[in-house]
Every structure is written in structure tokens, then in C-alpha cells.
């Protein structure tokens, strides 16, 4: 299990606290420092079952500068969105938890984090 976090994000810190409380075995990826490339973003989107615009933080200043709110949300524009997420990782919704069953969740609620835990194997704490 891997969790993409921004340490300054309260939702990320809450997810980590819950993972620790449940004794989950996971790896932390500080995605603002260890930026995912476009292929990694596509793979996570496939695992999430979402499109790039579904995980884009449109309220971020850079989103407004880029004008993403006006970008088409269609298959032909998918790569443009993915490239923007890779170039500006602050746009990526967080935390993202990849589960051991090959799926992923955006862990912004306790329920979503528990869902990810339920998809993985019980493991030891960190």
C-alpha cells in the first residue's frame, strides 16, 4: 500500500493517523517532492477508475492560471490534463491510497481510508 501525501494537508495527516492506528503496512510518497510522471498518474487513474479532471484541485492558484476550469473533459483532452498534473503536482487531489488489490482511493474521509484498508491484506504497523 502506498499513500501520496502533502504533509501540510490535514486530510493527509488524518489518513496517516488512521493507517497507523489500524497497523497498516504502507509507504509514504511525498508527491510534491517525488513527483509522479504522466505514466504513474495514468496508472493511478486506472486504479481509481477516474479521469484526471476528477482528481484535479481546480481551486489551486495554478489551476486558475492555467484555466483548467475551461478545459474540455473528454478523451481527446485526457493527456493535456495528465500532463498538467505531472507538471503541477499541487493540482493532484490528496491523499491517494493505492490498495493491495490493485485499486486505489482518494482518502479524504475516514470511510475512504477504511475502504482502502479493507482492500488490502492485514499487516503489521510501521
pLDDT digits (tens, 9 = 90+) for 19-74: 999 999 999 999 999 999 999 999 999 999 999 999 999 999 999 999 999 999 99
Confidence bin at 118 (pLDDT 50/70/90):
confident
Active site residue 9: yes
If DSSP codes are grouped into helix, strand and coil, which group holds residue 78? helix
pLDDT at 121 over 70: no
Radius of gyration of the chain measured on its C-alpha atoms: 14
Q: Are the CB atoms for 20 and 26 separated by under 8 Å?
A: no
DSSP, res 92 = B
Give the integer Cα–Cα distance in Å for 70 and 56: 13
pLDDT digits (tens, 9 = 90+) for 22-36: 999 999 999 999 999
* Nearest by Cα to 53 from 66, 68, 40, 32: 68
Please pick, among 2, 7, 9, 76, the residue that the annotation labels catalytic. Answer: 9
Amino acid at each position: 500500500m502506498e499513500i501520496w501525501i502533502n504533509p501540510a494537508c490535514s486530510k493527509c495527516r488524518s489518513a496517516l493517523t488512521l493507517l497507523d492506528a489500524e497497523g497498516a503496512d504502507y509507504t509514504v510518497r511525498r508527491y510534491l517532492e517525488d513527483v509522479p510522471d504522466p505514466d504513474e498518474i495514468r496508472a493511478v487513474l486506472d486504479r481509481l477508475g477516474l479521469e484526471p479532471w476528477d482528481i484535479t484541485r481546480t481551486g489551486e492558484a495554478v489551476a486558475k492560471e492555467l484555466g483548467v476550469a475551461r478545459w474540455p473533459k473528454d478523451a481527446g483532452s485526457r493527456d493535456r490534463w495528465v500532463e498538467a498534473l505531472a507538471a503541477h503536482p499541487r493540482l493532484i487531489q490528496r491523499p491517494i491510497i493505492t490498495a493491495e488489490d490493485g485499486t486505489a482511493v482518494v482518502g479524504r474521509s475516514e470511510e475512504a481510508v477504511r475502504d482502502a484498508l479493507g482492500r488490502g491484506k492485514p499487516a503489521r504497523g510501521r
